[in-house]
Amino acid sequence: MNKTDNVVYEEGANMLLNKDIKKKLEKESNIDIDNISIMKTEETSEKRRMKGSLKNKAEKPAKHNSTKESIFEKNKLKIIPLGGLQEVGKNITVFEYGNDIIIVDCGLGFPEDDMLGVDLVIPDTTYLEKNITKVKGLFITHGHEDHIGAIPYFLKKMNVPIYATKLTAGLITAKLEEHGLDKTAKIKVIEPRQTVTLGKFKVEFIRTTHSIADSVAFAITTPVGVVVHTGDFKVDYTPIDGQVMDFARFAELGTKGVTLLLSDSTNVERPGYTMSERNVGAEFDKIFMNSNKRIIVATFASNIHRMQQIVSSAAKFGRKVAIVGRSMIRVMGVAQELGYLTAPEGTIIDIDKIGIYNPEQLVIITTGSQGETMSGLARMSQGEHRKVTITENDLVIFSSSSIPGNEKSIGKVIDELQKIGAEVIYNQLADVHVSGHACQEELKLMLMLTKPKYFMPVHGEYRFLRHHKELAKQVGMPSDNIFISQNGRVLEIDDKSAKLTGQVPSGVVLVDGLGVGDVGNIVLRDRQMLSENGMILVVFSLESTTGALVGGPDIITRGFVYVRESEDLVDEIREYAKEQIEKLIHAHVTEWSSIKAGLRQNLCDFVYKKTKRNPMILPIITEVKLAKPKQ
């Protein structure tokens, strides 16, 4: 028997065996085996069909999965400075990941010389307003105006929670009270080494030293790594409040790995180290001990450490201290209330009581260290202050450095004080001021402690940022990993790379009195023109029915020429204006806007030929209806 015969034989035997089993089962259990076989066959077929279907489905998703990956591609961390880059002040930085946004600082800037009449400059937050549902919170590094000054204007548009240390929170609250926002604001006090989690961000507060107490940096943990934002800082091993910078935590972060460092660039051009604040206190002691004059100290209102040293030196040498300036009084009140400034009882007196003390018994702390026109010291130098009159028995100390652009104003105030006969001491003459910002060696130390993969210098003019980049290269950072950005530019970081990409709306919003944003380039241009060349008003009347010239033109000038000495010129302008008006009427120009435009253009050319000046010319037309003569 061959192999084929064996197979046929086995199949036949199996069939016979199955028939025997079938008959036996049907006989003993009355079960229709044929139906069961059919059901099993159908079930088996169905299973096979389903398996095939599942197999096909398992094969198709390759295309589907690739689509899913492109749709749900991993988000990138976006760092967007809206202020503080390539400028001094107005610091605000946005961190965005997916549907979460947090903001670091919200400061103001001061107007440039050509921003006539403008009081404050604040950041343009259009991008945040468009993404308001993503904004989770505002984190503040410290209480200086260039970091908190714009918060009231920001909260009127987006009332998000604010996270800050105790003193910073107190200063923000006092500022919000002036704007009537203190009741609705959500301010949360956070201690150094504490962490706040908002969405995809974990923000840790790290103690630093600066010219104001309770300053912090932030370690921001994100899905792509840790970002360290230093805020404003310096390295002071002997700070006034005894709270030394948390070097250990910065080093620990550097050991674990920092993806990006954003570091203060304000003092990057200065070599070496910044002096300790205690040096100023020692200098104050020398001056107070050797002077028998009344001492007036001008400093920044927010420099609480400086005010503490002035108060301490005054108390040591038996002097009373009076405060001048609304912002100075507000800040000192907050600092005393929260325990950041202390004074022996009876040392601080009301400014109205200075008359009952001899000059050698008094110290006055005032605003005006930058020569601000309306500050306490500026008004004293002009003899316009109601409470304090400067005499030759006064010693005035400028305990500050000049902010770029303010040198002329400060020099003018110093000149006026010396004309009166007062003795003046400023930074170039004695160590009455130290900076609150890190110099080159301290900036290198921060880079070495944190060991960042990427670096973006912040806070300063373009040359500061550029210099900071060179400093980072000196300590071994690759040039390609250092980003010099600008306001509105987006830095995107993922697990593998970082690059500068797009641009978002940024810029400035001008605050003039109670108006916010209603002064723009056109208004500034008009103010500039008025300040440089003055204005000419051309007033005339047209008959309502015929359009004939029935009155004027009258010429009124402001800031153009002194009329009494330039009557001939004014008469020429009047006659020329009259000729041009009549020409326009005879040419059947009836639209007032066209008459004004034509007159303005022709008169501009005429005045320039006569004077080489470009005053603003404003035609004003009044409509007159003449009564008809009686028949």
* 108 CB burial (10 A radius; 0-12, 13-18, 19+): buried
Tokens, residue 365: 């702390």
347, amino acid identity: T
Q: Can 179 be counted among the known catalytic residues?
A: no
**Residue among 264, 385, 433, 459 flagged as catalytic:** 264
DSSP category for residue 563: G
In the three-class reduction of DSSP (H, G, I as helix; E, B as strand; rest coil), residue 249 is classed as: helix
Chain segment 558-617, per-residue pLDDT in tens: 888 887 888 889 999 999 999 999 999 888 888 888 999 999 999 999 999 988 888 999
Strands (E), 132-273: 135-139, 162-164, 187-189, 195-198, 201-207, 216-222, 225-229, 258-264
Q: Can 147 be counted among the known catalytic residues?
A: no
Q: Rounded to whole angstroms, how far apart are CA atoms 96 and 133? A: 12
Tokens, residue 164: 């800050």
Contact criterion met (CB below 8 Å) for 325 and 301: yes
End-to-end alpha-carbon separation of the chain, Å? Answer: 150
Model pLDDT, residue 406: 72
Q: Rounded to whole angstroms, how far apart are CA atoms 532 and 535? A: 10
Model pLDDT, residue 30: 44
Model pLDDT, residue 121: 87
pTM of the model: 0.77
SS3 content of the chain, % helix, strand, coil (to 5): 40, 25, 35
Model pLDDT, residue 129: 94
Contact criterion met (CB below 8 Å) for 456 and 463: no
* 131 CB burial (10 A radius; 0-12, 13-18, 19+): middle
Residue 255: how many CB atoms within 10 A of its CB? 11
**CA 195 to mean position of chain CA atoms:** 23
**Residue among 142, 144, 385, 437 flagged as catalytic:** 437
Q: Rounded to whole angstroms, how far apart are CA atoms 426 and 411? A: 11
Q: Rounded to whole angstroms, how far apart are CA atoms 296 and 277? A: 19
**Four-residue CA torsion sign, 142, 147, 153, 156:** negative
Indicate the helix (H) or strand (E) that contains 64.
Answer: helix 61-71
DSSP category for residue 161: -
Task: For the chain of 631 residues, list the mean pLDDT of each consecutive stretch of 10.
Answer: 43 47 46 40 45 44 39 80 91 96 93 72 93 97 94 94 96 92 94 96 97 95 97 94 95 97 95 93 93 92 90 95 90 92 92 92 88 79 89 91 75 90 84 91 97 96 95 96 96 94 89 68 74 89 87 89 85 92 88 90 91 90 75 54
Going edge to edge, which strands form the sheet with 508-512?
120-123, 508-512, 515-516
Contact criterion met (CB below 8 Å) for 165 and 190: yes
Chain segment 291-327, per-residue pLDDT in tens: 999 999 999 888 899 999 999 999 999 999 999 988 8
Model pLDDT, residue 61: 42
